[in-house]
Structure 1
Amino acid sequence: MFTGIDEVDWATLRHAHGSAEDMPGWLRALASTDAAERAAALDRMYGAVHHQGRVYDSTLACVPFLFALAARADVPDRGCIVELLVSIGGLGGSHGTGGVSGVDGAGGLSGTEGVEGGVRSVGGGEIGVSGAGGSHGIGDIDGESPADEGPDRRAREAVRAGAASFARLAADPDPAVRRTAAGAVVRFLDEPLRVLELLRQRLHDERDDCVLLALTEALGLFAHRYPAHADTAMAHLADHSGPSSSPALRLAALGQLALHAPGRLPVGLVPTVVRLLRERSARRVLAREHRGPDTLVGRIRRLRPSDEEGAVLLRTLHGALGDRVMARLALLAGQLTSPDPVDRCNAVWMSAGLFRGWRGDHGGVVRLLGTQLGTEEDRLRDAAVSVLAELFALAVPAADDLHALVATRPDLWTHRWERCPPTLGGPLKALTRAGDPRAVPALAQLLAGPAAPVGLGFEIAHLGRAAAPLAPALRHRLGRVPLASPTAARLAAPLLTAVRATGDTDAVPELLRLLSDPPGGPEARDAVVGQVIGTLAALGAAEQARPLLGRLLDTRHAAVAAGALWSADGDVSAVLPVLVRELTQADPVARHHAVRALGSMGPAARAALPALRRLARSGPARERVPAACALWHITAEPGPVRPVFRAAWAEDPRTRVPVARCLTTMGSAAAPLRDLVTSELDAPRRHMATGDGAYGSQDIPADEELIRLCREVLASL
């Protein structure tokens, strides 16, 4: 097993943390009879020789010894060693999961636990977890490109050279080894007919449910890697999708058929899947009830039940259904009405990815999310609250349930992290973001307390004018912001946002106080000054700040101050030279404010047209679009504007909302861009959805605003 290990000059090899002279000790520890020693060695291997997916010369040197360890039946935990080999080959996932890949490309809610068993979804969003050393989505099957060179390529070649070992391990007595080897043999053994026959035989002989699921996934990977043999592979899966197989195996087979051979799917896929899910859940609950003597581990599992396997099966199906949003919503509805709270919890997290990535009539599923709020299962309730809080206005169908929870559980109004100030609790946050005025009494109590949650004003702003009853309390807090405190700007910013949203003109004295003696250091002061000026202008109160605004025309706030002065008295001679000057500034923020102010002036800003035309012709799309909008508002000439809008629409999806907003003012002049609007309304995918799992907290409301604006544009044509 370790023959030749001392002949390797480990001291001259390197890993992530320096010399690899400690490698022989780690390799030997992998064969230890002490579980803690084995676990520590495996962690060190991932942290040093395969750190963050990278490989080193020492990684290559350890591959033969890892294969030797995996082949010895007397070595414990060999499944982990096989996973490490697959990962070194560049095709697996992370330590302990066997592989993770994006199914829906939508990521998840930040930092929230999706399913247990060592797997954290990115907020429970749509990611798949493989027990076969691979991914549920197709992802990068071969894991390499022609451009790959150096240690990465050599590592893949070293693992591929031992692929015959994976074929032997696929029939190993240890199910953990068989489970990981199933996917490895597809990925590394370049003999498709041999691989297909091996998988067929193993699928026929296997009795372990987890390994059976890994084998179905491996056949899906095989179908993608070898299209010429895909039909035969799918025929094997179709044979196992019928009543003679267990519910779990049927679900796994249906998921792979949906991905690779949708023509083989049965009629009524969603009802079939829901029925199988409930049959599987009933078996799992029965097995849990007859698990044997009570143990500490057993009690913990009952308190925090999880179903990683079920989550994986359903994520695969959701990923395969892709843009069939109605079918996916029906599937989620079936999951959310399951008698098993674990099934419902998995469905809650899966719904997050659907909401975030896809448009559709989500109201029914949102209402079902609301019904989860009355459960005694804390994890299920908290999961539903977390998802609803990210939906903003889309959460309205669940507003009654949110209000009931807020009314009966004041202990959930705030959330406290250790050694941190309180933040707004999920139920009240979700109700507020939905724009429901029933949130006002609870918010009023928090504002009246000694320590209002951090950023409370930002959330109150979502209520708009419905938050007017809170205006006196907001003014009171704004007037008590300690200007000399280093935290003053942080305290003032959310309050200013709320004052602006409520339209509270009685707050002008408090605003003037902040403008005359801005709080905080230079950077914080700059941020607050700009926000105060914008608030004064929005409230129509800039006239009362005229002397203060005039003194700011030679500062970095010149553009914002000039725009506010224009809104006060319309004196072109006082503000136009300032705004034209600001268009030439290197600071893009100053240019942005100047462009917006000039657009608001309309024809009175014609002197700025040459500079605006230059801005509309060059630079990033996010700067060209505001300049083009200003040109339209000044000249009402669509010719120079429409090409900018068309190019930016395709170049940067973030510009679509401001483009659509401007199109709503153009009337029939927007007709040549009708195709952009109609295509957007026909697209099932949200405009900011990405394939890398990234998303922003405002992506859903921004997309809903885009849809509303596009409809308004069409109505005006």
Structure 2
Amino acid sequence: MFRGIDEVEWASMEHAYGSAADVPELLRGLASPLPQERETALDGMYGAVHHQGDVYDSTLASIPFLFTLAGHVGLADRGEIVELLASIGGSGDEDAFEDGADDVVPGRDAEDREDDNHAMARTAIRAGAAVFLDLVTDGDPQVRRAAPSALVRFHDEPPRVLALLTERLRDEQEDGVRLALVESLGLFARLYADSAAPAVDCLESLCAARNDPGLRLAALGQLAWCAPDRLPDDLVPTVVALLHIRSQRFRPSGEPVRTSSDTLIGSLRRMRPADEEGAQLLRTLHQALGSRTADRIALLKGQLSSQDTADRCNAVWMSAGLFREWRAAYEEPVALIGEQLGSDEERLRWAAVSVLEFLFTLAAPAADRLATLVESGPDSWGRGSATLGRPLKALARCGDARAVPALAEVLRHPVVPNETGYTIGHLGPAAAPLAPLLRERLAEVPLDDPETYGRAAPLLSGLGTLRYATAVPEVLRLLHGTPRELRLRDALVKALTRALGAFGAPAHEAIPALRELLTGGNAVAAADALWSVEGDAGAVLPPLLRALAPQRDTGGPRTAAEALGRMGAAAAPALPGLRRLTDSAEVWERTAAACALWDIAGDPVPVLPVFRAAWTQNPYTRRTITACLVRMGGAGAPVHDLVRTELTSPRRHRARSGGHGSHDVLDDELLLRDCRTALEAA
């Protein structure tokens, strides 16, 4: 299997963590008779040799040996090696193709669009793709499941590939492999549109009532991707009925449970749903339905009404992608997700609270269930742990005052989870009783501990949100007492000054300390706070004007512009610098400068063109722009077409492929709120 491996100059090559001298050991580990050694080796291949999809010279040198391993009959876990080869070759290319991007698809020259290593990897996988022809009929079901999609992606004879897929689908007996073949037919139809008709016809025939419900669900999902016009009119009731039939027949796989090692691969295996196959079937259908939110909500309601906990758990996870990407009325599915909090199944409860946690105010229909869970006891609070309990966090994030007593108990504990202070801010005035406890905890933060910033910043955030100026002495203790060499001291000083600024005039005791900071590296933050506390334009303008100048050594121009905007007309001397900043190459600087120009001078002429360009260039600027449009009232009308278009868009402004942020749903809901307010204020 490894002939010639020692002749390769691995030490002269690299992977994600430096020298690739350890790659031969990883490759040999893939052939180990011990499951944990194979898993560790696979983790190393993904973690270093193919780190986050990258292709290094050592990755290219590994390809011939991976092909040899994949074709070695009797070797365990070869299916995962096939998946690794497909990933190295660029197995996700069809995702970009589906989105309409002019990306790499079979039959095009990859070299025109990819860097050299990725292009060479794809060429190498294509050159060896004949191996996949044999693997489609391999004796190992795991290999037969992995091979079809690799064959579609990389083999250069589409008619031969299609003929083999349909033949195998007719002869294959193993359910999981049949599902993989159906998925590959759908992939073929998407990648080879000119030759797709036979594949689409096959998928449509598989939707017939005589077929297995799992197979029919798979075919419907693929048909939704490649030929949505061929879907049945009664799609949702059909899918729900098939799901219930499948659930009655489904039994966990008889394959032995594998002991996973302490690796990323092992962790992912442990996180797999109880019915992974069912999860994949429904995930495919949900993704294919895309913006058809009414159908997807109806489908979720059907899934969440299932008697099977695995079906309901899958539905909860499916809902996450829908909520994050699309705008719709979600009260009913959210309430049904809340019902899952009363389940005896821990996996289902954990899934439900994980989704409710990122919904913020949209989780309100489940608030009663969350409150019941929180009131059941400290196990749901996170008291004494490093993280705040998810049920409590979800309840507080949706603004429910019933979270206050439990948060008070958390704050009374010697160990306060760092998230607590940030979470309190979502409760508004209802959190006022927590302010004295936040102050007490802040007084206990050590002055010279490496974790001083991590412990203090969340507490300061909570106190600032509640405008609890009684805590000024505790803030000044940290400001004066932390040593200059303290880790993250600059970040701590910024957090301290933000809190003082939030306190406003009642923090007058801090004026001398803030004035001392006007000539240092935190001058912008100090000036911003000093204006809020004292309102002395003569003191705060010089450092803010310096921050706008070409020599940017006293603070960021963006934060300076934001601070100047808060000063209003008193910042008129900054207008020339702000006008120059609207020509910055950095979109956030231009946006902040434009907002400040309006707040200071009230002239929309230099502001609106900046807003229009930034709105399109970076969707993340839209909340900042819309908040300013609210302040502008009718003066912002020339760009209200952007606002109206946003309100009619079905997709969340932060939705993107390949990732999401914990606050994306909240930010989008706040954007929609401000869009409506801006139009009402015009």
Please, what TM-score do these two structures have when normalized by structure 2? Answer: 0.87
- CA–CA distance in structure 2, aligned partners of residues 47 and 434 of structure 1: 38
2:297 is aligned with 1:332? no
1:590-620 CA distance string (max 9 Å, x none): 5344323322332232222111111122231
Check the 8 A contact 2:326/2:652 in 1, yes or no. yes
Indicate the residue corresponding to 1:118 in structure 2. none
- CA–CA distance in structure 2, aligned partners of residues 26 and 558 of structure 1: 55
- CA drift at 1:479: 3.2
Check the 8 A contact 2:213/2:245 in 1, yes or no. yes
2:651 is aligned with 1:716? no
- CA drift at 1:628: 1.1
What letter is aligned with 1:376? Answer: D
Check the 8 A contact 1:466/1:502 in 2, yes or no. no
What letter is aligned with 1:606? Answer: A
Moved more, 342-351 or 514-523: 514-523
Query: For structure 2, which runs of at least 5 residues remain unmatched after alignment?
Result: 260-268
CA spacing shift, 1:576–1:363, aligned 2, 3 Å: same
CA spacing shift, 1:190–1:479, aligned 2, 3 Å: closer
2:10 is aligned with 1:10? no
CA spacing shift, 1:46–1:637, aligned 2, 3 Å: closer
2:289 to 309, 315, 321: 321
Indicate the residue corresponding to 2:328 in structure 1. 360
- CA–CA distance in structure 2, aligned partners of residues 64 and 58 of structure 1: 11
Q: Alignment partner of 1:234: what SS?
A: helix
CA RMSD of aligned residues (A): 3.7
1:561-612 CA distance string (max 9 Å, x none): 4444444554444443443334225148453443233223322322221111
Indicate the residue corresponding to 1:552 in structure 2. 517
CA spacing shift, 1:145–1:561, aligned 2, 3 Å: same
Indicate the residue corresponding to 1:134 in structure 2. none
1:523-553 CA distance string (max 9 Å, x none): 6443344333333333332434333333333
Check the 8 A contact 2:581/2:590 in 1, yes or no. yes
- CA–CA distance in structure 1, aligned partners of residues 521 and 34 of structure 2: 65
- CA–CA distance in structure 2, aligned partners of residues 520 and 19 of structure 1: 41
- CA–CA distance in structure 1, aligned partners of residues 609 and 297 of structure 2: 38
1:152-198 CA distance string (max 9 Å, x none): 54554444344444334433444333323322332233223222222
- CA drift at 1:458: 1.6
Indicate the residue corresponding to 1:431 in structure 2. 395
1:96-148 CA distance string (max 9 Å, x none): xxx9979999xxxxxxxxxxxxxxxxxxxxxxxxxxxxxxx999653934345
CA spacing shift, 1:141–1:467, aligned 2, 3 Å: same
CA spacing shift, 1:54–1:370, aligned 2, 3 Å: closer
Indicate the residue corresponding to 2:265 in structure 1. none
1:610-659 CA distance string (max 9 Å, x none): 11111122231111112111111221111111011111111122211111
Indicate the residue corresponding to 1:495 in structure 2. 459
- CA–CA distance in structure 2, aligned partners of residues 22 and 559 of structure 1: 50
CA spacing shift, 1:20–1:635, aligned 2, 3 Å: closer
2:112 is aligned with 1:146? yes
Q: Alignment partner of 2:214: what SS?
A: helix
Indicate the residue corresponding to 1:629 in structure 2. 595
- CA–CA distance in structure 1, aligned partners of residues 258 and 72 of structure 2: 32
- CA–CA distance in structure 2, aligned partners of residues 247 and 179 of structure 1: 19
**Higher share of residues assigned helix:** 2
Indicate the residue corresponding to 2:274 in structure 1. 306
Indicate the residue corresponding to 2:490 in structure 1. 526
- CA–CA distance in structure 1, aligned partners of residues 497 and 95 of structure 2: 47
Check the 8 A contact 1:252/1:313 in 2, yes or no. yes
Check the 8 A contact 1:557/1:590 in 2, yes or no. no
Indicate the residue corresponding to 1:653 in structure 2. 619
1:506 to 470, 482, 503: 470
Indicate the residue corresponding to 2:407 in structure 1. 443
Q: Alignment partner of 1:190: what SS?
A: coil
Matches within 5 A, 1:620-699: 620-693=586-659, 695-699=660-664
Check the 8 A contact 2:561/2:593 in 1, yes or no. yes
Check the 8 A contact 1:606/1:634 in 2, yes or no. yes
What letter is aligned with 1:626? Answer: A
2:161 to 192, 195, 214: 195
Check the 8 A contact 1:16/1:48 in 2, yes or no. no
- CA drift at 1:400: 0.7
Matches within 5 A, 1:171-570: 171-285=137-251, 306-414=274-382, 422-517=386-481, 521=485, 524-539=488-503, 540-568=505-533, 570=535
Query: For structure 1, which runs of at least 5 residues remain unmatched after alignment?
Result: 94-98, 106-136
Check the 8 A contact 1:390/1:430 in 2, yes or no. yes
- CA–CA distance in structure 1, aligned partners of residues 345 and 97 of structure 2: 28
What letter is aligned with 2:7? Answer: W
Indicate the residue corresponding to 1:127 in structure 2. none
What letter is aligned with 1:386? Answer: S
Indicate the residue corresponding to 2:266 in structure 1. none
What count of residue pairs does the alignment treat as equivalent?
Answer: 664
Please, what TM-score do these two structures have when normalized by structure 1? Answer: 0.83
Check the 8 A contact 1:13/1:58 in 2, yes or no. yes
2:671 is aligned with 1:706? yes
Q: Alignment partner of 2:196: what SS?
A: helix
Q: Alignment partner of 1:553: what SS?
A: helix
Check the 8 A contact 1:393/1:433 in 2, yes or no. yes
- CA–CA distance in structure 2, aligned partners of residues 61 and 558 of structure 1: 53
- CA drift at 1:373: 0.8
Q: Alignment partner of 1:617: what SS?
A: coil
Indicate the residue corresponding to 1:614 in structure 2. 580
Check the 8 A contact 2:465/2:502 in 1, yes or no. no
